[in-house]
Structure 1
């Protein structure tokens, strides 16, 4: 049914559970997958005077790859063709939707952190934003 699944992760425990489930789904469907994590752009802050934009970019890329390592290993174990992707963007939901479009993904499978009440209103939800703006199906995992 699905041929290419985009699996975004922020490295949280809930997100890693969703990665596991989505990769197992990809294996069952004989689909390929792309694991995605989004890093924040460099912003100069008085608390980080000793680090520049290039050093930050290298650090963010390294941390992003580390965040994707366990999923990449699981994909290999399951026999799923899977590539890791680290993207820098100020709006994670937009990066997820952009990546899905540019890679030709036909499904986005991601976790929902399940915030409720005031915290959901104040913090918002990247998953909710993806659901609202995506033109392709989104599978929400808990």
Structure 2
């Protein structure tokens, strides 16, 4: 069975449902979970530098705070059923890249993540981090809807 499950979270209800499923699998297989929240970096505009610099500081602080809150929710779920847990919030432009790297670095043998179920043109235009992970992961990915 699975000994180390990676659970990417974005704070949505869907990602929390995926977290619950991943934690339950870890409990059944006597494994552990690692939660990962990827924070999109603040994108600067060339002018109005001082205003944007202050905005970036505020954005980074709030984004980190939100990420820590999401991770604390997953930790509480894992602690409630006695599943070993570790969590991390990281900044990155491409969440799928950090997820795939975490799979390797943490030697995970399963990823459990949510998918918003976008189809057609919306998925084509916006892309899907879950789809990107599915295409690049060397381990199974359980997708929760």
Q: TM-score if structure 2 supplies the norm length?
A: 0.89
Find the aligned partners of 2:98 and 2:67 in 1 and give their Cα distance.
14
**Aligned-pair RMSD on alpha carbons?**
1.9
Structure 2 residue matching 1:87: 3-state secondary structure = strand
In 1, the alpha carbon distance for the partners of 2:73 and 2:97 equals 24
Aligned residue number for residue 120 of structure 2: 117
Secondary structure of the corresponding residue to residue 139 of structure 1: strand
Question: 1:21 is matched with which residue?
Answer: 21
Choose from 61, 67, 70 the match for 1:64.
Answer: 67
Q: Distance in 1 between matches of 2:83 and 2:15?
A: 19
2:142 pairs with 1:132: no
Q: Between Structure 1 and Structure 2, how many residues are aligned?
A: 142
Other-structure match for 2:2: 2
CA deviation profile, 1:73-130 (whole Å, cap 9, x unmatched): 0100010000111111100111100111111111111111111121111111100000
Change (3 A) 1:50 1:91: closer
**Which deviates more, 103-112 or 59-68?**
59-68
- Compare 88-97 and 45-54 and name the one that shifted more: 45-54
Residues in 2 aligned to 1:86 and 1:54: alpha-carbon distance in whole angstroms: 16
Deviation of residue 69 (structure 1)? 1.5
Match of residue 39 from structure 2: 39
Greater mean alpha carbon deviation, residues 99-108 or residues 48-57: 48-57
Q: Name structure 2 gaps, 5 residues minimum.
A: none
